[in-house]
Each structure stands twice: as structure tokens, then as C-alpha cells.
Structure 1
Amino acid sequence: MYKTFLIFISFLVFSISTSSFASTPLVTVDWLSTKLDDENIKILDIRNKIDKGGIDVFLKGHIPGSIHSDYLKDGWRVKRDNIVGLLPSKKQFKNLIESIGITNDDHVIIVPAGVSSTDFGSAARVYWTLKIYGHKNLSILDGGYAYWKSKFPNLIQNKNYKEPNKSDYIASYNSSYYISADEVIEHINQGNGLLIDARTVLQWRGKEKHPASVKSGRLPTSILMPQEDNYDKKNNKLKDITQLKILYKNIKDKSIVSYCNTGHWAATNWFVLSELLGRKNVKLYDGSMVEWSSNPNLPIVTEIKKIDDIKYWFKSIIKNI
């Protein structure tokens, strides 16, 4: 009886530790270096044009055992009704995941290039997409491939790459992290939530716009929190958790919608709020400003008070001191 009890306790501890780690949104290169032979881990390298990467760059050097899927080319974001950057359909997602051999039980480690905040946004958006379709075990490699290469220059594979075998994947749509344009309108009209704009100051002020946007401006009631503010440019990583808590200390615990131009930059704000800071009810609007501005019936704010001009000018001066 005592032996059975010990076996049960050991199994319980193992299960708790496994499930706890599975929910860790960031993993270190040191941790990953000890898991290269773990069959339950799939290392997903998503380097693409944003970071001057792609399959050719991947083949010249990658983390051993990695599989490659180009963030921009392979269907992580799709075009529908002339709107770019949208969430793929359930069928499109299933086809994509199965083509790169990922199964429901895999712990997927997403590897960006590790060269900029916009590059990190690729990883955050892939993470969000996988989570939308029910994948449980997800992490992003902190520092990406660049940090791995600097830390483990002798652990680089550049030959004998084999295309993964096709898998069988069951996609299960989870609406908890997604919000449509109609739902954003309702969110604005209710007035008890928050919209966070992840774009640049100039875009938020209506002075510049994304090439695919019909109009410049911002969504009504939105506040500006540029995605790059989450990022440590010197070390090419997200800022540490203490810095991120300070960054978002004035954001109340309420329903939050993260948006940008095409749901790319907004994915970083979503990732930090939802996955690192543990905020509940944080949704990503994938259509963002490009979809919103394509509908002439939806409101866009372009006005800005003179005091705001002075405020942003003052901030820019302080930032450059």
C-alpha cells in the first residue's frame, strides 16, 4: 500500500511539473540545449523576409532538429476579401500544421530570428494562432536564433535537413483570444473595456498609415502603447518581467483589445499582457486598422489636441537625451 502511495505521489508531482512547464510562454536557450533529443519537443523556426531570413538562410544554419515554416509565405496569415494578415481558417490551419509534422501533443518552441521587436511579433502571432486553434504546449525561444547562435556556436546544423513527415492534427477553435470587427464595435459602444494600439506614434496620431490601410487615424477610445516598448533593443529580447509590469502598471484589469495595422505588432502586446502578465480577457483583433479602414461605416479618429502634440514632442526630446 505504501509503495502504491509513493508511486501515486511521484506521478502526481511529475504531472503537475509537466503541466506547469507546458504553460511557460518563454523558454531559455540553456533550457532548450538540454532538450534537443526530446521527442515531445518540436522546434519551429519561422524566419522570413521580415528578418531577412527564409528557407535558404535556415539551411545555412539552424538549431539541430528544427523544422522551418516561413511566417510570411506558408499561411500563418492569409488574405481574404482584399484584407491582409487575417487568421487562417480552421481548414487552412490544419493543412499548414500537418504539412510541417506538428501533432497535438508536441511542445512547440517557436524560434524567431532574434533581431528586432517586429521580428518578435512574428513569433507572438504564430503563438497566438496556435493557441486560437487549441494547441496546449507552446513557448517562444527568448532571444531567438541569434541568441542561440551566440551562446552555442557549436550547436548549429547546416546539412542533412529532412522535410518533416506529415502529421494528423485535430484543430479545436478557441474564441477566447479572438475578436471580430463587429465585436470591436460592441466593445467600443459598451465603453467598459480598453483598446490598445501597438503602432507607432505617427500612425496613432494619423500622420502616417500602413500602405494597405484606406485611411489614417485610430480606433475610437484607443490608447497608444507601441509594441517596441516591450522590447530590449540592446539584447534583442523582451524586457524582463519586472520592467513589463511597470510598463503596464496603469492598465486596469478589464476587457482589452490589442490592435495595430494587420494584427502583427498587436500580437506582441497581446502576448505580454495575456501570457506573461496573466491578464484575463485579452483579445487580438487580427484585421486591425487595415480591415477597419476598409469599411466606410466604421468610425476613425484623426483629431488630436494641441496638448497631445506638445506631450509627444516632449517625450521624444526626453527619449533622445
Structure 2
Amino acid sequence: GPAHNPGELPELPKLTALVQSLGLTPATHAVVVSSGADATDFGASARVYWTLKVLGLKELSVLNGGLKAWSEAGLTQNTDAVKVAASNFQPKLDHSQIATKEELIQRVKAGDATLIDARPAAFFNGETKAPAAKVAGTLDGAVNLQHDKWFAPGSSTFVPADQAKKIAAASPIDPAKETVSFCNTGHWAATNWFAMSEVLGQKNVKLYAGSMVEWSQDPNGLPMANVPSRTTQLLQDAKAWGAKTFSK
């Protein structure tokens, strides 16, 4: 996405050119491989998986644990560059997987969906924010389910399905209601979406790609919860400026 909102879903022509250059078609079984560094890295692979599914691909997998797990298992690797023939696949967006800002405005107003914030508690509670977000806080009426709850501690290995069911049972997930997963820019949120939709088989889960960066930037001042005081906001901005300035 653009610099002002890194989570924004690129335009369809750009995504079409990308999947065609990778030789992808609906007949392809695409396996998304991350580095396996940590749970956040898994979120990046889950976001790629979600994007491919949105474009109409059905045969999709994520390599659990990523390249790190593959390497630790002693499996074969090589460094040869791979060339693929471009495809002529013309994807269409599956809007059943996508929550837009306009839709969420109505959902927040009606209170008829479960809004799940995938970020660490400090973001949810308004104690910090993403650099591109205008203000800290969360969606009005949202609940917090941190993205790293689905992993073996300290790893990027997703837990077995039976354990995922136990995590879900102890969480604020309500399978009976439409669910929207969000975070700062739609990457941590992709992990929660993946857990609910692909592992647990929940049918009514959407991902809000623009997430809190897009929501907080809206000039109309959309409803938010856990927004800090103006003084605290100024202190947060000063701290972020200092960290950015003096880290160079």
C-alpha cells in the first residue's frame, strides 16, 4: 500500500500484474513461505495468503514455522533463481473476505459485528500507536485478541487445530456474528483472520486491511475507544519523533 497507509489493498490491476508474473492460476497450489522469525513474520505470510484468496485462488497453504522450521528439519534448500512462465489469469476481488471503512462505519454504529483488534494490549489501550496513525486507540466496541496467542511460545509455529479451538473458546470470538479482524495495517490482523477462517472454519470473517491507520486518518473523526487525552497524545508524538530522529 501507499506510504500514508501501508495496509491498504493495492488496486486490482497492480495485483493482477503481480499474480500473472508469478505464473499463478486457480489451478495452482500456492504455498506461502515466511522466514519463520516470529509471530509477526507469520502475519506477513497470512496477509499474502489472504490477498491471494481475495483474488480467487483456492488451493493455498502457509508453511508452518516458515523457512526456519524447514531448515531446522534438515530439509533440502538451494539458491538457484527460479523462472516461471507468466499466466493470463484475470482475478476478481472476493468482497466476502474484505471489510471496508464504509462498511465498518455502519457496523460500529449498529454494533452488530464482533470487531477483533489483533494488536498488543498497549495499542488496544491507547498507550502507543503506529507511526502512520493519527491518534492512538481502537475501534469503538472492539475487543482485544492478540495475534501471538495462536503460536507455540516464542515461535512462529501455529498451534495444532485442537489447541486453536481451545484458544478460541477462551477468547471473545463469537462464531454466530460476523467478525472483522483489524490491527494497525492489516498484518497482525491477518493472523487472527487465518486462525478463525482457515483453521477454525468460521464462515463470516473479514479482514479490514486499512485498519487503524486508515480509520484514525479519516477527516470526519470516526468513533474510537481508548483514545488518550490531548496531553498524552502530544507526549506520544514527541516520544515517537525523538525515537525516529535520534535512531538515525
- Give your verdict on TM over 0.5: yes
How many corresponding residue pairs?
224
Is the partner of 1:79 in helix, strand or coil?
coil
CA distance in 1 between partners of 2:118 and 2:174 (Å): 17
2:81 is the counterpart of 1:157: no
1:285-304 mapped onto 2 (5 Å cutoff): 285-297=208-220, 298-302=222-226
Contact kept? 1:116, 1:233, Cα under 8 Å: no
Matched, 1:127 2:49: yes
> RCO greater where, 1 or 2, for CA within 8 Å and sep 6 or more?
2
Matches of 2:217 and 2:61, distance apart in 1: 34
Q: Report the CA distance between 1:230 and its aligned residue.
A: 1.3
Task: Give yes or no for the alignment of 1:258 onto 2:178.
Answer: no
- Residue from 202, 207, 216 that aligns with 1:279: 202
User: Take 1:162 and 1:296, find their aligned partners in 2: how far apart are those partners?
Assistant: 46
CA–CA separation in structure 2 for the residues paired with 1:194 and 1:201: 18
- TM-score of the aligned structures, taking structure 1 as reference length: 0.67
| Partners of 2:132 and 2:215 in 1: CA distance | 11
How has the CA–CA distance of structure 1 residues 303 and 94 changed in structure 2, closer, same or farther, with 3 Å as cutoff?
closer
Aligned counterparts, 1:125-204, within 5 A: 125-153=47-75, 155-159=76-80, 161-204=81-124
Indicate whether 1:212 and 2:132 are aligned. yes
- What are the within-5 Å matches in structure 2 for residues 1-321 of structure 1? 78-79=1-2, 82-153=4-75, 155-159=76-80, 161-249=81-169, 250=171, 251-253=173-175, 254-297=177-220, 298-302=222-226
Q: CA separation in 2, counterparts of 1:171 and 1:182?
A: 23
> TM-score scaled to structure 2, two decimals?
0.86
Question: What is the percent sequence identity of the aligned residues?
Answer: 38
Shift of 1:83: 2.2
Query: Residues 154-201 of structure 1, C-alpha deviation per residue, up to 9 Å, x if partnerless?
Result: x11123x23322221120211111011010111112212110000111
Distance 1:235 1:266, change over 3 A: closer
- Kept after mapping to 1: 8 A contact 2:34/2:66: yes
Q: Unpaired runs of 5+ in structure 2?
A: 229-248
Query: Computing the radius of gyration over CA atoms, which structure comes out larger, 1 or 2?
Result: 1
Q: Structure 1 residues 217, 234: CA separation in 2 closer, same or farther (over 3 Å shift)?
A: closer
